[in-house]
Structure 1
């Protein structure tokens, strides 16, 4: 096999696993199910990843790192604060649409103590974000409160409808497409709630 083909096959397996795990919520998908979905031989999964659990961890860490990198890029950009929030919300809801079960899995991992392995990076982002929140409060663009409360409000408004999607969609009687439309309306509602 050529190196290009190796990389393409490895990426295909990772993308397929991510779709099954976080797009469809099939956290217990077997190696054979992943191979069948990807259209590859099951032995290739063991060749590239050694085990299903190792593949699962790699896919999760890739998704987590992508989110951390994006958040870091947005927070440390030169764009105005409100635009940063808009850009973050765009990314968040786009990811949630493609991978509706990723948030649920992240909460599970946090409860088991195996999430966000670089506390210094998180602290650096939070410090910058809290400073910007405080400056926006001083400008009168958002209500005065502890910056942590602003962040909790933002996270609650975005995360709850995503992480609780299976329950809310079922109990509220929405089809997938209807709930997707509801989520598309969230961005403006969140911005109107957070900003004056």
Structure 2
């Protein structure tokens, strides 16, 4: 076997392990899954996980960082686009609910990480996004398309309306008596409701 082919197999195996772990952690919500359980699901030997990632916790951190970075980059692309503000909000909601459908437990883990002191590493980019977002909110208020308030309050409303039903899904789904499919339908209805609550026209 050539060195190039060996390298390709190694990359494929490493990616397979990461994708399997991501599904177990963030699609199934099994944050405490063992190295052996991940290996069994991926169809690989457990020693390969230690070889590529050193430990289960390190694998967890890598998978989370990649998922977090991907979400951040997609959000950044929306915020810095030249699209109308309403369209940006609409796209952002699509992004959130699409992600929550594929990985329903990712938002929950992000919240726990924030509670433990993990924050955005690229503070400069985050500040630039917020500054642009606040400016666009203020302009929309001047146009009369949204209620006048501090831009930070508009952002809090948006985050609360979209994120709370996702991050609190296990509790809400249990207490409200929804199955997985019926709660997902509930989430799919939220975009139109949120848009109608945030915008005056």
Q: How does the TM-score come out when normalised to structure 2?
A: 0.95
C-alpha separation in 1, matches of 2:56 and 2:28: 17
Listed one character per residue, the Cα deviations across residues 140-167 of structure 1 (whole Å, up to 9, x for unaligned) are 1111100000000000001110011001
CA RMSD of aligned residues (A): 0.9
Q: How far is 1:116 from its partner? A: 1.2
Q: How far is 1:28 from its partner? A: 0.6
3-state SS, counterpart of residue 189 of structure 2: helix
Match of 1:29 in 2: 33
Q: How far is 1:115 from its partner? A: 2.8
2:150 alignment partner, one of 146, 150, 171: 146
Q: Which aligned runs of 4 or more in structure 1 are off by greater than 2 angstroms?
A: none
C-alpha separation in 1, matches of 2:119 and 2:106: 12
1:45 touches 1:52 (CA, 8 Å); kept in 2?
Answer: yes
Deviates most, 114-123 or 18-27: 114-123
1:106 touches 1:115 (CA, 8 Å); kept in 2?
Answer: no
Give 1 or 2 for the bigger CA radius of gyration.
2
Match of 1:91 in 2: 95
1:171 alignment partner, one of 145, 168, 175: 175
Unpaired runs of 5+ in structure 1?
none
C-alpha separation in 1, matches of 2:123 and 2:108: 21
C-alpha separation in 2, matches of 1:82 and 1:65: 24
C-alpha separation in 1, matches of 2:23 and 2:178: 22
Listed one character per residue, the Cα deviations across residues 172-192 of structure 1 (whole Å, up to 9, x for unaligned) are 111100000000001110100
C-alpha separation in 1, matches of 2:77 and 2:58: 28
2:105 maps to 1:101: yes
Unpaired runs of 5+ in structure 2?
none
Q: How far is 1:80 from its partner? A: 0.6
Deviates most, 39-48 or 2-11: 2-11
Deviates most, 133-142 or 2-11: 2-11
Size of the aligned set, in residue pairs, is 196
Alignment of 1:53-92 (within 5 A): 53-92=57-96
3-state SS, counterpart of residue 177 of structure 2: coil
